[in-house]
Amino acid sequence: MFILTIIFYACEKKENSFTFIIAADMRYMATEEYRDSRYFQGACEAIKKYGKGSFLISPGDDSLNKYPQNSFKFHQLLKKYNVNAYVCGHTHNASIAKINNIWQIDIGHARGIESYFPDMLIGEILQKIEQGKKIGLTEKESISDYYEGNDYEARKVLYYTDLTGGISYKKIDDKTGLDLLLTFVDYYSNDKKMWEKHKTAFWTNANLTRSTFLKVITSENDVTVEFYRDDARGGEYNLMHSYSLN
């Protein structure tokens, strides 16, 4: 089961206004290996920059698309109590739209890097190769060792860089995956033209979504929602869009 964790970051009150920040991360990524600015920690660091207060964590999981009767009841309740807007998620894509006169705010994800990309993968492999040299491993042995622990992410990159011949990363066997990864590293080291070609293919095919958090500013007469987003590669967060819900 996928469980979405919603985090409300309460900020200071100024006169008759109140500001809070909303972000969402995946529970399975709340482990030591993801404690890095490239992931949700980076969103937390950016949140600290744009607001202050304390966290309230509230996990939950439901699907209004999967259960249309629940969806209908939910919207009827919103209309009954004159709700102006609601926050949803689970799609990984941040968006805002007015539907049936009610604002729907999809918070997307704030997990930072959504998936490995070529430069990230090659960087980790080169680091593994250097570590291997210190203990007498060959380059191929180090790459094989790396693949064994990161086969899923490696296969995804290989697939989106058009190196698998259209075979899904979910169907590539280990031998083929390792052979393709060796080719991937060889292109980086010895054929920059092919490396750039396949790296370009990745960004054309992968369509990674940017990590996002929202800053909601309420006042006596208006509510403003600001969307802060990174570059989908673990970069800095910047204010990208601002909407008035008045």
Q: Which residues pair with 224 in a beta bridge?
A: 217, 244
How far, in Å, are 26, 96, 103, 125, 129 from residue 177 at the CA level?
A: 27, 39, 45, 14, 18
DSSP 3-state of 84: coil
Domain ranges of the chain: 4-113+210-244, 118-205
Question: What would the two tokens of residue 142 be?
Answer: 């180090």
pLDDT score of 10? 40
Nearest to 214 by CA among 81, 23, 58, 51: 23
Q: Assess contact for 5 and 24: CB atoms under 8 A.
A: yes
Sign of the Cα torsion 155, 157, 163, 168 reads: positive
For 107-165, what is each residue's pLDDT tens digit? 888 888 888 999 999 999 999 999 999 999 999 999 999 999 999 999 999 999 999 99
Region 78-85 average pLDDT:
87
Give the residues across from 57 on adjacent strands. Answer: 7
E strands present in the chain: 4-14, 17-26, 55-60, 85-88, 94-99, 102-107, 212-218, 223-229, 238-244
- At 98-109, the pLDDT tens digits run 988 888 888 888
Query: At 45, is the pLDDT very low, low, confident or very high (cuts 50, 70, 90)?
Result: confident
pTM, two decimals, is 0.76
Quick one: DSSP state of residue 52?
A: -
Angle CA 195–204–65, to nearest 5: 140
- Predicted confidence (pLDDT) per residue in 216-237, tens digit: 888 878 889 999 999 988 889 9
